[in-house]
């Protein structure tokens, strides 16, 4: 059997070219967890990536969306189920729980004290830093609908938009790094 090396080489070149031109120096991350520790890890990676000159796009979905609520903002016109969800889920980055050793908030307070001592930025501060560094946040519309959250109750963040899975997929497709937290 004869193998057409030149033809195969041509095809390979085309494929490599596609890969090279398709991937940007970009990080796209699904932020799914509403746990403080996991959110913190996500935000450290996101801000760190900007130091590496990467474009960063975060896709907040499910439990993570609760961390984007602004405790100072109140919205009207919610139905009973939405109100219940709103009441049971943490209202903002300061209220999220630890995934382990939370111990009704005792573990979290202890960790926060250690973080302060070691100069580790709080989640709240991380969001501010991320905003300054141009990290964009996309919030899953379906999650917002499920939990009954409204755009008006989210934090003031310069690059925040509500979108669907299509935005995530197109961002992920052109990114060198994709993560799910």
Q: Which residues bind other proteins (CB under 8 A)?
A: 44, 47-48, 50-53, 118-121, 129, 133
| CB nearer other proteins, residue 100 or residue 117 | 117
| CB nearer other proteins, residue 52 or residue 81 | 52
For the chain, give the secondary structure using H, E and C: CCCCHHHHHHHHHHHHHHHHHHCEEEEEEEECCCCHHHHHHHHHHHHHHHHCCCEEEEEECHHHHHHHECCCCCCCCCCHHHHHHHHHCCCCCCCCCCCCCCHHHHHHHHHHHHHHHCCCCCHHHHHHHHHHCCCEEEEEHHHHHHHCCCHHHECCCCCEEEECHHHHHHHHHCEEEEEEC
In the complex, minimum distance from the CB of residue 48 to other proteins, in angstroms, rounded to a whole number: 4
| CB nearer other proteins, residue 4 or residue 53 | 53
In the complex, minimum distance from the CB of residue 112 to other proteins, in angstroms, rounded to a whole number: 14
In the complex, minimum distance from the CB of residue 156 to other proteins, in angstroms, rounded to a whole number: 22
| CB nearer other proteins, residue 6 or residue 53 | 53
In the complex, minimum distance from the CB of residue 52 to other proteins, in angstroms, rounded to a whole number: 5
């Amino acid at each position: 059997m004869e193998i057409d090396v030149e033809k195969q080489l041509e095809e390979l070149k085309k494929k490599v070219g596609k890969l090279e031109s398709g991937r940007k120096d970009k990080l796209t991350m699904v932020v799914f967890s509403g746990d403080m520790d996991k959110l913190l890890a996500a935000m450290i990676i996101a801000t760190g990536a900007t130091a590496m000159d990467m474009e960063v796009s975060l896709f907040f979905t499910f439990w993570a969306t609760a961390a984007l609520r602004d405790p100072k903002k109140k919205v009207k016109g919610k139905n009973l189920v939405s109100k219940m969800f709103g009441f049971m889920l943490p209202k903002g980055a300061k209220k999220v729980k630890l995934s382990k050793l939370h111990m009704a908030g005792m573990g979290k307070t202890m960790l926060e004290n250690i973080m302060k001592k070691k100069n580790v930025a709080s989640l709240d501060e991380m969001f501010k830093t991320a905003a300054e560094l141009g990290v964009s946040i996309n919030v899953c519309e379906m999650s917002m609908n499920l939990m009954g959250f409204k755009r008006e109750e989210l934090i003031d963040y310069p690059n925040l938009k509500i979108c669907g899975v299509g935005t995530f997929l197109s961002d992920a497709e052109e990114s060198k790094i994709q993560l799910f937290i």
